[in-house]
Amino acid sequence: MKIRSNKAWSTHMPMLIKCVQMSDGPVLEIGSGLFSTSLLHWLCYEKGRKLITYENNLDYFSFAKSFQSRNHRIRFIKDWDEIDTEAKMHWSVVLIDHTPEERRKIDAIRLKDKADYIIIHDTDCESKYGFDEVWPHFKYRYDWRGCRPWTTVVSNFKDVSKIEKPNITK
């Protein structure tokens, strides 16, 4: 398995924890990861919440597959368009952290009316990944800039400006 790791890949964790704790419905992870998949698995496991993880990289898929359970489904896809965003499912939390990074804006917009909280990682690269095209589609936006890379939470249903800032010391 060829999985690399970097501390910067975990900077979405404070917002993931907050949003999962502020909600109680199903969770969607678009792009698995060493940090997010295990964290979401255990946060959802404790409450019996449905969690679906989609991955397009076989190495990360192999890692994520170890978390497959009754409530946590892991799906390998070749094309991100295979995620059915037209279904009647409404997600409590969606994490968008997949590759290629330029694809994140497309999926954030596709899910804009399908989730209470959408968490997008690496938003400090706003112009590089086209996130400036995403923000007008949402009523609420909260940028967490506690450390880089930044994470943004957007919603058309929940006022994310009320998210309490985590107390993190460097």
- Give 89-145 pLDDT, tens digit per residue: 999 999 999 999 999 999 999 999 999 999 999 999 877 889 999 999 999 999 998
Partners of 73 in beta bridges: 52
Model pLDDT for residues 53-88, shown as the tens digit of each residue: 999 999 999 999 999 999 999 999 999 999 988 788
pLDDT at position 131: 94
Q: Structural domains in the chain? A: 31-78 (no CATH), 82-160 (3.30.110)
Q: φ and ψ at 68, to 5 degrees?
A: -55, 135
pLDDT at position 9: 66
Distance in angstroms (rounded) separating the CA atoms of residues 127 and 129: 6
Distance in angstroms (rounded) separating the CA atoms of residues 156 and 167: 26
